[in-house]
Amino acid sequence: MSFIDNIKNKAKKKYEQKKREWEDEREANKIIKEEIRTAKEKERKKQDIQTAVFKEQDKARKKRDYIKNGGFLGSVSRGVDNLSKNLAEQEKQRVKRQPKAKQKQSKEERQETIAERMENFKLFEEQR
């Protein structure tokens, strides 16, 4: 019996040792996951701060440009200038698009068309 007990004890010790190793591995995995999570949070916070700083700088730059360009009145005058530019461009395009003036008809053609109209009118009157 002592031999069998001895083997059982050795097996028990090996099992307990393995069990401790597994528990250690689980603990190690938990610690690693926690460290990764905290590192991600720090990185996220850092990026949030950078974006906030960039937005503030951009806002300040836009405000400086707005004031530099005359504020509200400057924007109104720019709008009027843009409107007048657009109207001028539209007028140029309209002038370009106008069809060429029809060439004047010769006297003979005019007399022919007048004669045709008179005939059509006489026919129209007769039909009435």
What parts of the chain have a pLDDT lower than 50?
A: none
Predicted local confidence at residue 43, as pLDDT: 93
Predicted local confidence at residue 71, as pLDDT: 66
Other Cβ atoms closer than 10 A to 74:
13
Predicted local confidence at residue 89, as pLDDT: 76
Predicted local confidence at residue 90, as pLDDT: 73
Predicted local confidence at residue 74, as pLDDT: 62
The string of DSSP letters for 21-47 reads HHHHHHHHHHHHHHHHHHHHHHHHHHH
pTM summary value: 0.38
> Given the structure tokens 């996220």, which residue do they identify?
44
